[in-house]
Structure 1
Amino acid sequence: MQISTVLGNGMVLQREVQNPVWGYTRPGEKVQLIIGEHHLETQSDKDGYFEILLPSMKAGGPWEIRLWDTTGRYVFQDVLFGDVFLLGGQSNMELPLSWIWDQVKEELAEIRNEQIRMFDLPKEYDFLKKRELLTQGKWVSACGKDLLAFSAAGYYAAAEIHKKENIPIGLLQTAVGGTPVKAWVSEETIRRQGYYEEELERCRDEKWVENTIAFETEREQCWWNVAKASFEKEIRYHDVINIPGFFTGDLKKYIGSISLKKEFRLQEEDLQIDGIVKLYLGAIVDADIVYINGIKVGDTTFRYPPRLYEVDKSVLHEGINEIVIHMFVMRENGGFMPDKAYELVLPQGRHISLMGEWEAATVERMPYLPDMTFFQYAATGLYNGMLYPLRRQKIKGCFFYQGESNTGVADRYEQEFSAMIGEWRSLWNDPSLPFIYVQLAGFSDGILPSTQTDWAVLRSEQLKAEHNKNVCMVQAYDLGEYNDLHPFDKKGVGHRIALACDSLIYHNSVFFKGPCAVDFAWHRDFVEILFETDTPLTVCDGTDRVHGFQTVDETGRIRNVEAKLKSENEVRVEIDERVKVLMYAWNNYPGQANLYSGSHMPAVPFCRKREE
C-alpha cells in the first residue's frame, strides 16, 4: 500500500466535508479504515487505486485513523479537523519565521499552539508527467523550533483566523521562491496561452535538463573554488570603502573577490556578561564569509538573506579586535545595502557601530558568473510536481503572494494570473474556490528616489484580476522596504489576509482594501479627486498634506506635486495646464504615499490621463 505523505500524523483535514483517504495497492484489494465509530471499506480498482470518503466531521480532535489491507497498515494519530488553506506564490509567502526571528522572537518565543499546523511540500518539479503521490514532508505544529519553519505571512494569518474562529487551522505550504506564474499552471494552459511552449519543450528533454544542471553546477563550483582560494595569498589593503552603500567608480563594474577589514575596541567590562554576541552586517551583494580575530563566524552564499551572525564570546578579547569580510561579487553592482544595521551588539546591550571606513583590497578579478537555470521557475514544472498531487486534499481557500518574478512581462500578468486561478479551481473541482492574493510590496533595490514603474504596472494588473469571482486582493505596497525584496512586516500582511478571509470566506465583515479614486474633476490648475472609502480619509502624519502625487507633462517630465485633504472623501491636487497625466503611488517603492482610510488601509495607486 502506498499513500501520499500529506496523509500523516498530526494532519489537519477540512471540517464539514467528506475528505478522501486514498492511495494505491494491489488491484482488487479490500481496504479498510476506522475513525471513531465508523468502520469503512472499499476495494481497489484494476490500477490499484482506492479511495475512502471520511464522514463529514465538526471542527476538533484529536482523532486516530487506522487504514489497512493485506499489504500494509497505517495509523494516523493526532488528526484534527478544521479549516485548511493552501499557501501559494514565491519567496514572500515562503519566507519562514526564522528569517525574521530577531524581530519577532519576543512576541513569539513562548508560542505553543497545537491547533495551528503546517505541511511544507517538497519542492519538486516534473515536466513529463503529473505526479500522483507526495513522497516527502510532514505536518508540524506552531510550537518550539517547528514554529521557525512556518511561513511568516501564513502563520500570522492563521493565528488571527484561529483566534477569531476558535478552530484548528491547517496550512499547505506550496510557495517556492523566485517562481513566476507559469510554473504553477498545467501544460494545457501553457499551450493554450502560447507564451512558453518553447521553454516547455526544452524542459521535457530530460537529457538537456541533466546536462544543463551538471554544466552549470560545475561552472559555479569552479568560480567559487577560484574565488575562495584567492584569499590564500598575501592581501595588501590599498583602498578604503565606506559601508553601507553600493560600490561606485571602478568598483561598480568589478566582479570577483574583495577583502575588507575593520578594527573595533572592547573594554574588560564588555566581556564580563554572559550571553549572545550578535554581528549585524545588513545585506551584502552578493556573498560573504566573515571572520573575527581570524575565526570564521558566519557565511552567506547569496544576496538576499539578512546577515545576522551569532558570535561565541570566546572569539573576542579585550582591546583591539579585527573583523574581516571575504566578499564575493558575482554579477557587478556589488556593495552593502543602505539603511540596514551594521554593528556588533553585546549581551549587555552596548552597540558598536561598524559603519564608516573599512580597509579594502580587490583580491581577484573574475569573469561574470551567470545565474543558474532554476528549473523550478520553468513552465508547468511545479504544477505537476507539487500542486497536482494535492488536488484531492479538501481546502477552504487559497492565500497567494507572488508577482515579483513577473515584473518583466507585467502587462500580461492579469491574463496569466486569472488563467492560473481558473486552473486551480478546476484542479480542486471547485469553481468558486476562495482566492485571496497579496499585491506587491514596495521595493526599489536600495535606490531612492524610486523612479522605475514596472512594479506599479504589475500592481495595476493585480488589481484588474479582481474581476474574477470570489477573489480578494490585499494591498501591501505600504508594507514594503525600499532596500529589501523580503520586507520584514509579515505580521501586517498576515493581518490583512485574515481581514480579507473574515469577509470573503467567513462572511463576518466587509473587507475594504483602501480608498479608491472614483471621480476626477479637472480644472486649469488643480484636480479634485473623489475617493470611495469606508471611513474618512486621513494622512498618516496627522496633517492635511497628502504626499505621493506626481504629474507628467507634455515633455515627459515627472514632478512631485502638492495635495491636500479637502473633505473626508476628497483630495485637491495642484497642477498646471501642461499636465497630461496624474499619478498616485505610481512607482516601485511609493514610500512617500501617505493617504489612508480611517481604518488604516492605503489608498489604491492609479495612473490617470488628463481629461480634456
Structure 2
Amino acid sequence: MSKGLSVNAMFTDHMVLQRGVEVPVWGEGADGAVVRVRCRGEQVETRVENGSWMIALPSIEAGGPFELIIESEGHSIVIRDVLFGDVWLAGGQSNMEWPLSEAQGGPAEIEHIHLPNLRYYDVPKVAYEDRAADGAAHDTAHGAAHSSSWKVCTPEHAGAFSAVAFYFARQIIIEQGVPIGIIGCNWGGTSASCWVPEHVLTDDSELRIYADEFIEIIKNFDPAAFAIEEAEHNVALAEFNRKHAAGLRGKELGDYPWPIPISPSYFLRPYGVYGTMLLKVVPFGLKGFLYYQGEGDTHRSLLYDKLMEALIGHWRALWNQPKLPFLFVQLPAFGCNGNELGEEWPLLRESQLIVTERVANTGMVVAIDCGEREDIHPINKKPVGERLALLALEQVYGQSVESSGPVFHSLKIADGKAILSFDHSGEGLSAGDFPLTGFEITDDSNVYVPAQAICKGNEVEVWSEQVQQPSAVRYGWANYTEANLVNSFGLPAGPFRTKRVRT
C-alpha cells in the first residue's frame, strides 16, 4: 500500500517558522509523487523518494499569520495561523522542564497572560521506541502513544510552558518585537550523555564511561525482578502525583520516588532520548539553543566540559550550522542533601565556565543566587529566563545591553591582601545592601579559610588574619553558597578560583 501525503508532526496550526533562512519542511508520500508547498506567495516543489520528501521554503521575513499549504496528487494539507519569527530549542532536564504553573509568580502571570506572538511546542517524551503494528512510536514507560502540537501563549495553555523559556521568550518579544517559537525538548533527570548519539561517547576514551557503566548495570537484567520493582515504584509515583495534584508541597509532598527501576529501555540511559526526542526535531529551522542541565552529571564534574563540548558540536552538526548560538544556565546553589560544603557542584560550574572559554558562540547565565538550599528545583525562574534573554539580546541580536555579571580578570598581592579586579563591573561592584560574602583565601598551603572582603570600584580586596602571605582566592566555592557579589546592573558574579588547575 502506498503512503498517503503527510507532513512531519511538528508542522501544526499556530506554529512558528524561522525567519530569514531557508526553512525545511518534510513528510511522507507515495514514491514519485510531486509535492508542492506554498506560503506567503512562495511555492516550491519536490518529488517523493523512498516514501519521504523534503523541501526548503525560501527565506521569509518575520510576520503572519499565514497559511502553509502542502499539495500532492489531488490531496492537500492546510496549516493555519503560521507565524515567521525566531525559534529556540529549550533543552536540558527538570529545571528547564519546570512549568510556569509551578514557578514563583507563575499562576499570577498565567491569569492575565495574552501573548499571541509566543508559541510553544513540547516534544513528546518517549523513553524507548517500540514500533507497534500501527507504526507509531510508543513510550514503554507509560504504554501510550504521544503527540503534540503548537500552543499559543494564553491562560489555557501557558501553565504547561517551560517557565525559563517563557520568561526568555517574553523578554525577546518585548525588546525585538518578533514572534518567538519555543521547542521544549527536555526531560527531568537526564544526563547530557542522554542527548548525544552512541558514537560520541564510545569513540572517546574518557566519555565512553557513560556507555560502559550502563552496559555493566544491565548485563544481568532480570525481567521478573524488574516487574516487581516497577510495580512498587508506580504505586509510590501515583501517590506522589496524587499529593502534588492536591496542592501539597515541601515536606507534606515528600520526595519524588527515586531512583527509578532500571531496565534496557530506561529513559535515563545514555544516548536514549537523543534518538527518541531530539532527532524528531531535526532539521526544523532554529535561531539557537537554550540549555539548562548539569544536575544529572555532578558525579563526573571534571568530565562535564568535554561532554558539553561534544554535545554542542554534534547538535550544531545536526542542523549543519557550526555557529548556531548555544546559551545555557550555570548550576545555581544547592545544599545537596546536607553536603553544602562539597565541591561537586562548584567543579561542574567551573566546567561550564570552561565551555564558554573554549567554544565559540556560547553564553552562560550565572544563576548562583537563584538556588535553594533544600530544593534542587528552585522555583524562582524569572531571573534565569530574563538573563538568558539578556545574553541573546547582546550576543545574538546585537543589542547594546550588559548580559554578564562581574568576571574575574586578575589577582595581585599587596600588604597581605589579595586584590582582585573584574571585568563587567558596570559602574562598580557591590553586595547590594548586605555585607560581601563568599570569599576564601589561602597561602601556599592551599588550605582555604573564610575571608573578609570589600568592594572598591571594579576591585575586591580580600584578606584574613589567618593568612599572612596570601597566594590565591576562591569565591562561591561550595555546593550551597550565599556569595553575593554583583555589578551595578544587579547581575551576579559566578563562582571561580584564581588558581584554577585546569583550563
Give the structure-2-normalised TM-score: 0.86
Partners of 2:212 and 2:481 in 1: CA distance:
40
How has the CA–CA distance of structure 1 residues 526 and 473 changed in structure 2, closer, same or farther, with 3 Å as cutoff?
Answer: same
What's the counterpart of residue 69 of structure 1?
72
The answer to whether the aligner puts 1:137 opposite 2:148 as a matched pair is yes
Larger radius of gyration: 1
Return closer, same or farther for 1:423/1:71 CA change in 2, 3 Å cut-off: farther
User: Quick check: 1:518 aligned with 2:403?
Assistant: no
Look up the match of 1:274.
none
Q: State the AA in 1 paired with 2:60.
A: M
State yes or no: 1:299 paired with 2:189. Answer: no
Q: Is the 8 A contact 2:244 2:253 kept in 1?
A: no
Instruction: Please give the alpha-carbon distance, in whole angstroms, between the structure 2 residues aligned to 1:166 and 1:158.
Output: 11
Structure 1 contact 125–383 (Cα < 8 Å) conserved:
no
Q: Distance in 2 between matches of 1:62 and 1:200?
A: 46
Which amino acid letter does the alignment assign opposite residue 98 of structure 1?
Answer: S
Q: Tell me, yes or no, if the aligned pair for 2:202 and 2:211 is still in contact at 8 Å.
A: no
Indicate the residue corresponding to 1:597 in structure 2: 487
Q: Which amino acid aligns with 2:150?
A: W
Shift, 1:533, TM fit: 2.7
Query: CA 1:289–1:500 in structure 2 vs 1: closer, same or farther (change >3 Å)?
Result: closer
The answer to whether the 8 A contact 2:128-2:272 is kept is: yes
Shift of 1:606: 1.7
Secondary structure of the structure 1 residue equivalent to 2:302? helix
The residue number in structure 1 matching 2:53 is 50
The question of 1:454 aligning with 2:344 is answered yes
User: Structure 2: which amino acid aligns with 1:219?
Assistant: E
Is 1:563 the counterpart of 2:453 in the alignment?
A: yes
Equivalent of 1:381 in 272, 277, 281: 272
Q: Is the 8 A contact 2:28 2:48 kept in 1?
A: yes
| Structure 2 CA distance for partners of 1:518 and 1:538, relative to 1, 3 Å | closer
**Alignment deviations for residues 171-229 of structure 1 (CA, whole Å, 9 cap, x no partner):** 01001111111111112211222456576489799xx799767643422434787xx9x
Matches within 5 A, 1:388-467: 388-445=279-336, 447=338, 450-466=340-356, 467=358
Residue by residue over 1:100-124, the C-alpha shift from the partner in whole angstroms, topping out at 9 and shown as x without a partner, is: 26x3322331102121011000112
Q: Deviations over 1:56-112 (max 9, x none)?
A: 2121111112213238532111111110001011111111112226x3322331102
Structure 2 CA distance, aligned partners of 1:478 and 1:326?
25
Cα distance between partner residues in 2 of 1:64 and 1:204 = 48
Q: Give aligned-pair identity as a percent.
A: 31
Change (3 A) 1:14 1:147: same
Q: 1:441 to 1:82 in 2, by over 3 A?
A: same
Identify the residue that residue 108 of structure 1 maps to in structure 2.
110
Asked whether the 8 Å contact 1:288–1:328 carries over to 2, the reply is no
Find the counterpart in structure 1 of residue 10 from structure 2. 6
Q: Secondary structure at the match of 1:107?
A: helix
- Alignment CA distance shift 1:111-1:217 (3 Å): farther
Which residues in structure 2 correspond to 1:463-482 (within 5 Å)? 463-466=353-356, 467-482=358-373
1:266-289 C-alpha deviation (Å, 9 max, x unpaired): xxxxxxxxxxxxxxxxxxxx9967
Shift of 1:455: 0.4
Contact 1:127 1:203 in 2 (8 A): no
TM-score calculated relative to the size of structure 1: 0.71
Partner of 1:594, secondary structure, is coil
Call closer, same or farther: CA 1:68–1:162 in 2, change over 3 Å. same
Match of 1:574 among 463, 473, 492: 463
Deviation, 1:3, is: 2.6
1:120–1:215 CA distance, 2 compared to 1 (3 A): farther
Match of 1:105, SS state, is helix
Q: Which residue of 2 aligns with 1:35?
A: 39
In structure 1, distance between residues paired with 2:52 and 2:85: 27
Matched, 1:501 2:501: no
Classify 1:30/1:398 alpha carbon distance in 2 versus 1 (closer, same or farther; 3 Å): same
- Counterpart amino acid of residue 295 in structure 2: E
Letter of the structure 1 residue corresponding to residue 437 of structure 2: H
Q: Which of 229, 234, 237 matches 1:219?
A: 229
Of Structure 1 and Structure 2, the greater strand share is in: 1
CA distance in 1 between partners of 2:255 and 2:320 (Å)? 49
Q: In 1, Cα distance between the equivalents of 2:34 and 2:220?
A: 41
Mark the CA change 1:64 to 1:377 in structure 2 (over 3 Å): closer, same or farther: same
Aligned partners of 2:410 and 2:129: how far apart in 1?
Answer: 48
